Copies of this chain bind each other. A is one copy, B any other.
Amino acid sequence: MTSPKQRIIETALRLFSTQGYNTTGINQIISEANVAKASFYQYFKSKEDLCVEFLNARHTYWFNALNSFTASETRVNSKVIASFDFLIFMNKKEDFRGCSFLNTLSEIPMDNQKILAVIQNHKSDLRSYFLELLNNQELSDHVYLLFESSIIESQMFRSNELIEVSKRLITNLIQ
């Protein structure tokens, strides 16, 4: 069996992703992770602390999933388009729950620097991901911005319509 700490993080990963941060209570987490309450506070000094670890775990999971999904594409342009297809794939898999990082951003108080930093870090990496692919700051930012919209619009309308729109726009942009 995995370690208590690992079980807590895995449970948080599942619950925070699907129910949101505020909606998910410590009690549910420790109960589903089969961990004593005091054990929880041994590994995480607060729920906020767990949130940071959750976002880090999500970061890793998400980029791994993205890279796996697009691995078979060799040409840059196809890889970019496949990244948007990845959103469609994830929307199906996670029922249009959107981006954990943006969702968390809306749930925490504005002055929570620690969590904010993790969120910003994730999105900076995403921005770099497109920059590394496209090697053109303006173009990659353009794609990044449409990618971000694609996430939230599809979450909001429970529909991939605007992802498809974005794909068409980008196809035009990158030939």
**Which A positions have Cβ atoms within 8 angstroms of B?**
18-20, 22-23, 95-98, 102-107, 109-110, 116, 119-120, 123, 138, 141-142, 144-146, 148-150, 152-153, 155-157, 162, 165-166, 168-169
Chain B residues whose CB sits within 8 angstroms of the CB of A149 once the complex forms = 144-146, 148-149
Is chain A's binding surface mostly helix, strand, loop or mixed?
helix
Known: A105-B152, A144-B149. 20 other contacts (CB 8 A): A22-B22, A22-B107, A97-B110, A98-B106, A102-B106, A102-B152, A102-B156, A103-B106, A105-B156, A106-B107, A116-B156, A120-B156, A123-B156, A123-B157, A141-B162, A141-B169, A145-B149, A145-B166, A148-B148, A148-B152
Q: How far is the CB of A12 from chain B (nearest CB, A)?
A: 17
Q: In the complex, A149 Cα to B165 Cα: how many Å?
A: 15
**How many copies of this chain?**
4
Q: Which residue from B107, B123, B157 sits with its C-beta under 8 Å from A120?
A: B157
Q: Are B109 and A106 in contact (CB under 8 A)?
A: no
Q: In the complex, A104 Cα to B156 Cα: how many Å?
A: 11
Chain B residues whose CB sits within 8 angstroms of the CB of A106 once the complex forms = 20, 98, 102-107
Q: In the complex, A165 Cα to B146 Cα: how many Å?
A: 12
Q: In the complex, A116 Cα to B169 Cα: how many Å?
A: 27
Q: In the complex, A98 Cα to B19 Cα: how many Å?
A: 21
Q: In the complex, A116 Cα to B98 Cα: how many Å?
A: 14
